[in-house]
Amino acid sequence: MARVEIKIGGFGGQGVILSGYIVGRAASIYDNKHSTMIQAFGPEARGSACSAQVIVSAEPIAYPYIVSPEIMIVMSQEAYTKFTPELASGGVLITEEELVQPHNLRKDVKHFSIPATRFAEELGKKLVVNIVMMGFLTAVTNVVGKKAMGQAVLASVPKGTEELNVKAFEKGYEYGVEVMAGGVPA
């Protein structure tokens, strides 16, 4: 597998950085790949917008920053506007259905969306929105295997919240599988 660059953007409190951490951890600890994660630090991290960059690769990673992400998850309108121009042509764009209006959607990318916040609320805790997203990402891309992602989720969430998070992950994953099968208009 060649180098895959992933960017995750949203606002504070959505667990953007943790999402990046989970993807990287899944790839490098549980999926025998290499991964480098860098969180946007600095003025960018101080306001409401935040982002994480993750690289996943079968080979050791030299250059640690992303150059042209092939996968992008955006969970806020601001992140959509700011980051989507960076997405590589032919890349995968995943948006949070209710928080992001895909204005002027690029024709050269594959777009998927999921009402992750609503799913999280239905599960009883809005906080797990990022974990729903992780399930969805796993289903619509093959960047990391499902087993590895599941393990990384379990290892990364606070003790005592495992069950809820596993449910959130499964929910996102099932929805992703449905979307891929054409069951849900993307």
Partner 1 sequence: MKADPKGVLTGSHFLDGDHSCSEGAIAAGCRFVAGYPITPSTEVVERIASRFPYVGGMFIQMEDEIASSIAIQGAVWGGKKAMTVTSGPGFSLMMEHIGLAAMTETPCVFVDVQRAGPSTGLPTQPAQGDMMQARWGSHGDYGIIALSPNSPQECFDLTIKAFNLSEQYRVPVMFMMDECVGHMTERVVIPPADQIEIVPRKFYEGPKADYLPYKTNGDLVPMMVKAGDGYNIHVTGLTHDERGYPSMTVPTQEKLIPRLVNKIKHNAPKIVEYVEDQVDGAEVVVVTFGITSRTSIPAIEQARKEGMKVGHLRLVVVWPFPEERIRELASRVRAFVVPELNLGQMVLEVERCVAGKARVELVGHPGGTVHNPKDIYNVIKKSAKG
Tell me whether residue 29 or residue 177 sits nearer to partner 1 (CB atom).
Answer: 29
Q: Cβ(8)–Cβ(120) under 8 Å?
A: no
Tell me whether residue 55 or residue 132 sits nearer to partner 1 (CB atom).
Answer: 55
Tell me whether residue 43 or residue 158 sits nearer to partner 1 (CB atom).
Answer: 43
Q: What is the DSSP letter of 102?
A: -
Q: Cβ(6)–Cβ(124) under 8 Å?
A: no
Q: Which two tokens stand for residue 185?
A: 């208009």
Nearest-approach distance from CB 43 to partner 1, in angstroms? 8
Nearest-approach distance from CB 63 to partner 1, in angstroms? 5
Q: How far apart are CA 180 and CA 36, in angstroms?
A: 28
Nearest-approach distance from CB 42 to partner 1, in angstroms? 4
- Residues within the interface to partner 1 (CB under 8 A): 21, 24-25, 28-29, 34-39, 41-43, 45, 61-65
Can you give the C-alpha Rg of the chain in angstroms?
A: 15
